[in-house]
Structure 1
Amino acid sequence: MAWKREPLIEDELNQLLDAADRHDLEHKTTIRVLAHTGMRADEFAHMRSGWVDWQDELVRVPAFEDCNCSNCAQKAAARNADIEQMWIPKTEHGARTIPLKEPDTLRTLRDYFSHHETIGVTRQTIGNRVKRVASDTEIRKKITPHVLRHTYGTLIAARGATPQYIRQTMGHADLSSANDYLQYAGTQLDAEAEELW
């Protein structure tokens, strides 16, 4: 398990969420959704209100979707000029269902989608939002959208998620990445026990 950036521990995540709550709705939505879904930045950038099942508290990332953004236009051109321009997740396993049970995140997302149909920003904008909120904390780690993805994986692992659950909700092809999250969560628990005793 060799990650470029270390996930946030729960106290750090809470500090980041508190900072996000002091920002506008766009920043707050970005931080909360990335941290509580494990979505990739590109997935979040393309998220639409129709992806959310409010009754069952789920986010359904589709296998493909029509898209007119410049990033998707470049990818379509690289694939084949005759293929329709659309967004496709990073991998075939990226199309998935993600439970969204954190109440403040659900409220924030509902509020956001009451004013907007899509997230509709670039990955760079998402990264800038994360960086801006992180700069309002005392956290010394570099925080990126991908760090929030790792944070989600390690937190659900620490809360008892199975490798299958982690793989499915995060859109991994196999269990090796899920096992990395479980291993990291176990290491963190060991370190916490050492501090207590």
Structure 2
Amino acid sequence: MGRSREDVLNEEEFGRLVEACDRTDHPIQNRFIVLVAGKLGLRKAEIVHMKANWVNFGEGILRIPAHEPCECPRCRRSAKEKSGNHDISYEEALSHQWQPKSEAGIRGVPFGHFKNVEETLKEFWSKHDEFPFKRGTVYNRVKKLGRMAGIENLYPHALRATAAQRHARNDVDPYTLSSIMGWQSIDRATPYIRASGSQAKKKLDDKYMEENEGSFWMNSGRVFSLTERGKKLLNSPK
């Protein structure tokens, strides 16, 4: 996670990345990957296991469930490990594969405030019932799109970090940010909020507004007046 924070994209870079999707043979699929990772902050495993019924367009919320039945090679391996380490059968373990990274990963992610995300979700799910690619494909497509956009060494988790940083810049508080991103602790949100500087800027702007400064001088009990020479110096060009 530390490295991905260093690799977040700025808005100009992210715009180039979205534009690069339209220059590919599969623009809808690629735009889906970029926007769901880079604006909603979903993990690669969450994207790969996504189903159309996760998305509620009426509410504008994408809900990640506690588990999603899957028989991909990775999920079969995980089910086999669980059946060997716990008192459950392989079939029972497989029925609960896939699962989010942690309980915090079971969450609702709002998307209605991003018009291009909503449009892309509708377009994508009108053609698919489930996500049609494996993790390796997602990784490779993000890398290729990055190169097309002039962004070296781009990878899916950097897009997730980009989403987190965008939320932080827009004054999303640590608790909400942790909920959206599926983090178990708000400590994960703190570096993004600190790096954005947006909350600090807002607090200082509120405290140092011009009218507040004026009221300070007025309420301080001190009266200031300028001499004619002082007025000339104050108004002279620098």
1:54 partnered with 2:57: yes
Query: Cα distance, 1:124 vs. partner?
Result: 1.0
Among 75, 79, 101, the alignment partner of 2:82 is 79
1:30 partnered with 2:33: yes
Q: Is the CA contact (8 Å cut-off) linking 2:80 and 2:93 kept in structure 1? A: no
Where structure 2 has 5 or more consecutive residues not aligned to the other structure, the ranges are 202-238
Instruction: Give the equivalent residue in structure 2 for 1:167.
Output: 178
Q: Bigger CA drift: 38-47 or 117-126?
A: 117-126
Among 115, 127, 130, the alignment partner of 2:142 is 130
Moved over 3 A (4+): none
Where structure 1 has 5 or more consecutive residues not aligned to the other structure, the ranges are 191-197
Counterpart CA distance in 1 for 2:71 and 2:147 is 32
Q: Is the CA contact (8 Å cut-off) linking 1:47 and 1:120 kept in structure 2? A: no
1:118 partnered with 2:130: yes
Counterpart CA distance in 2 for 1:44 and 1:63 is 14
Query: Cα distance, 1:123 vs. partner?
Result: 1.2
Q: Is the CA contact (8 Å cut-off) linking 1:153 and 1:181 kept in structure 2? A: yes
Query: Cα distance, 1:98 vs. partner?
Result: 0.3
Please state whether the residue corresponding to 1:87 is helix, strand or coil.
coil
Q: Is the CA contact (8 Å cut-off) linking 1:7 and 1:150 kept in structure 2? A: yes
Query: Cα distance, 1:56 vs. partner?
Result: 1.1
The change in CA–CA distance for 1:138 and 1:9 in structure 2 (over 3 A counts) is same
Provide TM-score, normalisation by structure 1.
0.89
Larger Rg, first or second structure (1 or 2): 2
Provide TM-score, normalisation by structure 2.
0.74
Size of the alignment, in residue pairs?
188
Instruction: Give the equivalent residue in structure 1 for 2:45.
Output: 42
Counterpart CA distance in 1 for 2:195 and 2:81 is 37
Query: Cα distance, 1:138 vs. partner?
Result: 2.1
Please state whether the residue corresponding to 1:37 is helix, strand or coil.
coil
Counterpart CA distance in 2 for 1:58 and 1:19 is 27
Q: Is the CA contact (8 Å cut-off) linking 1:46 and 1:120 kept in structure 2? A: no
CA-atom RMSD, angstroms? 1.8
Counterpart CA distance in 1 for 2:145 and 2:106 is 28
1:2 partnered with 2:2: yes
Please state whether the residue corresponding to 2:38 is helix, strand or coil.
helix
Q: Is the CA contact (8 Å cut-off) linking 2:48 and 2:131 kept in structure 1? A: yes
Counterpart CA distance in 2 for 1:49 and 1:2 is 32
Give the aligned residue type for 2:37.
L
Q: Is the CA contact (8 Å cut-off) linking 2:63 and 2:107 kept in structure 1? A: yes
Give the aligned residue type for 2:167.
I
